Chains A and B, each alone.
Chain A
Amino acid sequence: MSRWRFALQQSVLVWLKVGSLILLLLAPARALHAQTPTDPLAPALAAFNDLDYDVAATRLRAAIALTGAQRLVDIDRARALMFLGATENFRNARAGAIEAFRALLILDPRYRPSEVVFPPEVIALYQETRIGVRATSAEIAPLSEIVIPTDRLPIKLFASTLHDIRVRVTTSLGAPERILYEGVIGDSLLVSWDGREASGAAGRPGRYLLRIASRGPGGTPEREVQIPLEVEHLPIDTLPWPEPLNARQLRPETVVRANGTRQIITGLVGAAAVVVLPTLIGATDASSLRYGVAAGISVAGLVGLATATRPQPVPENIAFNNTLRTAWSQEFERVKTENRTRLATVRLRVRVERAVTVEIR
């Protein structure tokens, strides 16, 4: 009998182990998937899975309350709030559940609870809360560069529910606010900032605040998401001036064509021709008038000798150099125009800091 009892006990123990393993495997996926050794919500979710809601609520609140380096990242914080809302709902603490869901919606208006993990009554309460909570969040690239006036900083907005918003950029210096959008937001909305202040002037280096105010039915602001924008001016890249033409690129515009030998020979030949022409044709009584012409040619030859050694312009080289100079001037003007255009622009670097939601009421 004792042997039978012993065998029965052993059999029950085996089945209990198998059952525990099966239960462990069948545990809610959403609750388990993040239960890694480093999951800060692991103790709370374990209590939640054990249906120990009081302990779960306590641990979840404790996790949510963490600050400093231990502060939960937004995704864990949202998960914690969702489980806290569900826990409170299971504890029949409706107000606490709504409060947790409100906080969740303010943190992440796009959050949608898993219908696999949470029962319909929790989902229903969440949706009921969502309809009443007007919250927005913004998605902006953490670091952007925009060139005024061509670029804009895109700001993607998400809303928990349909409501009115007002999006504006203000400065810490008290400059008039620049309103980017004022109107209804449904699920999401894309607005942009052109980098200018309300006056139309380019944003100055410094700190700006992107403020997205969610407004109630009467237009009263309820809460505002404030996102600090650190703006700095970046140097404008201008094109370098074209390299000046150097001597190697240019052809010589003048040249000493001859040493004058040709001119003197030509002059001598011409003068000789005048002098000997009568003799060559057999005339014996030519006048001496021709010596005047010969002298004229000789003088011209001497002048030619003197001028031949002077630099003479080379038309084709001058034309070639003028083409180069014209091309250089055109390039210079192009760069000048381009640089003028570039200098008329302002290049901003916008660094986006952590958003803060401020309750206005």
Chain B
Amino acid sequence: MRLRSFAAIALLALPAGLHAQDYSPFILGADATTLRVVRDVATSQLLEGPVFGVQASLAFRRLQLEGRYTEGSLVPAAALSTEDEKYVDALIIARVRISSYLSLGAGPHLRAFVTPAGTARWSRLELHARSEGDLINGLARVRIDVWFAASAESNVQGGGDGAMGGEAGLVVRIPNTPTALHLMYTADRATFANGGSEFVEGIRIGLVLDRILSARSATR
């Protein structure tokens, strides 16, 4: 079922119109996300809050290594939860460009929710598929990135049972600068061994130093 879902999401990420994905040799960025966590375990919990992150990537020819670290505080929404939680998320993905519009990657993804009572940890090995395509020539692109957890481990709720997710959004180049704005919707859902689930979604706005977009704008 999960595989079918991932395949469906991956197919969504592979429209013929998405193409021309080029790696920048070096990307550095920062972002802010309005995160929302919906946890459906013994009781339903809803936490919200801004989290902030940094990201960097190095690329060589068809290979790219991307890392992202995000941290922030989540507060319970309404009366569904009683404690604040600290959110920590770290991800490293190694990607290889398969074609002009598709890249595949894999890497570890660690996530922790820190509460005074303890820390809930997730450790996953994710398989990613990413596609990008021009919306406005040289100015705006669509990025769709979906992933499937080949393994998902958790120290709570009897352990992890699986996870999948993705993000989709816009990459908008700021004209005449080597920077780009990212506006992404990100969502993932993990299931626990005891049948519970945890849904994390957010709207991420980031600013990245992206040389390739700048170089493209110079040639257009």
Task: Select A282's contact among B18, B142, B169, B189, beta carbons within 8 Å.
Answer: B189
The docked-state distance in angstroms from the alpha carbon of A301 to that of B12 is 17
Task: Select B12's contact among A257, A263, A266, A276, beta carbons within 8 Å.
Answer: A276
In contact, A283 and B183 (Cβ under 8 angstroms): no
In contact, B36 and A287 (Cβ under 8 angstroms): yes
Q: Is B105 an interface residue (CB 8 A)?
A: no
Q: Is A16 an interface residue (CB 8 A)?
A: no
What's the A-B contact tally at a CB cutoff of 8 Å? 137
Q: Is A296 an interface residue (CB 8 A)?
A: yes
In contact, B142 and A266 (Cβ under 8 angstroms): yes
Q: Is A262 an interface residue (CB 8 A)?
A: yes
List of A residues within 8 angstroms of B9 by Cβ: 277, 280-281
Given A269-B18, A290-B185, A304 contacting B137 (CB threshold 8 A): yes
In contact, B17 and A266 (Cβ under 8 angstroms): yes
Number of residues from B at the complex interface, CB < 8 A: 44
List of B residues within 8 angstroms of A272 by Cβ: 12
Closest residue of chain B to A290 (Cβ to Cβ) is: B185
Closest residue of chain A to B219 (Cβ to Cβ) is: A315
Task: Select B185's contact among A274, A283, A312, beta carbons within 8 Å.
Answer: A274
In contact, B220 and A263 (Cβ under 8 angstroms): no
Report which residue of A262, A276, A277, A290 has the largest number of chain B beta carbons within 10 angstroms of its beta carbon: A277
Question: Smallest Cβ distance from B184 to chain A, in angstroms?
Answer: 7
List of B residues within 8 angstroms of A287 by Cβ: 36, 201
Q: Bits for A278-300, please: 1 = Cβ < 8 Å to B, else 0.
A: 10111101110110111011001
| Those of B111-140 within 8 Å (CB) of chain A | 133-137, 139-140
Question: Smallest Cβ distance from A103 to chain B, in angstroms?
Answer: 90
Q: List 19 A-B contacts (CB under 8 A).
A: A262-B134, A266-B15, A266-B134, A269-B15, A269-B133, A270-B169, A277-B9, A278-B201, A280-B12, A281-B165, A289-B34, A289-B36, A289-B185, A290-B201, A293-B170, A296-B169, A300-B172, A307-B137, A312-B137
In contact, A315 and B17 (Cβ under 8 angstroms): no
The docked-state distance in angstroms from the alpha carbon of A314 to that of B16 is 22
The docked-state distance in angstroms from the alpha carbon of A297 to that of B18 is 14
List of A residues within 8 angstroms of B143 by Cβ: 270
Question: Smallest Cβ distance from B216 to chain A, in angstroms?
Answer: 10
| Residues of chain A having any CB pair with chain B under 8 Å | 257, 262-263, 265-267, 269-270, 272-274, 276-278, 280-283, 285-287, 289-290, 292-294, 296-297, 300-301, 303-304, 307-308, 312-313, 315
Task: Select A266's contact among B133, B184, B191, beta carbons within 8 Å.
Answer: B133
In contact, B199 and A286 (Cβ under 8 angstroms): yes
List of A residues within 8 angstroms of B134 by Cβ: 262-263, 266, 304
In contact, B5 and A300 (Cβ under 8 angstroms): no
The docked-state distance in angstroms from the alpha carbon of A269 to that of B197 is 27
Task: Select B201's contact among A265, A283, A301, beta carbons within 8 Å.
Answer: A283
Q: Bits for B141-167, please: 1 = Cβ < 8 Å to A, else 0.
A: 011101000000000000000001111
Given A270-B143, A282-B5, 15 additional A-B pairs, CB 8 A? A262-B133, A267-B135, A270-B144, A272-B12, A280-B8, A280-B9, A281-B164, A282-B197, A290-B185, A292-B203, A293-B183, A296-B183, A300-B172, A303-B135, A304-B140
In contact, B8 and A301 (Cβ under 8 angstroms): no
Closest residue of chain A to B166 (Cβ to Cβ) is: A277
Question: Smallest Cβ distance from B135 to chain A, in angstroms?
Answer: 4
Q: Is B88 an interface residue (CB 8 A)?
A: no
Report which residue of A270, A283, A307 has the largest number of chain B beta carbons within 10 angstroms of its beta carbon: A270
In contact, A301 and B187 (Cβ under 8 angstroms): no
The docked-state distance in angstroms from the alpha carbon of A15 to that of B191 is 155
Given A281-B164, A304-B134, A274 contacting B201 (CB threshold 8 A): no
In contact, A283 and B199 (Cβ under 8 angstroms): yes
In contact, B199 and A270 (Cβ under 8 angstroms): no
List of A residues within 8 angstroms of B170 by Cβ: 270, 293, 296-297, 300
Question: Smallest Cβ distance from B39 to chain A, in angstroms?
Answer: 11
Task: Select B38's contact among A257, A285, A296, A300, beta carbons within 8 Å.
Answer: A285
List of B residues within 8 angstroms of A292 by Cβ: 203
List of A residues within 8 angstroms of B166 by Cβ: 273, 277, 280-281
List of B residues within 8 angstroms of A294 by Cβ: 185
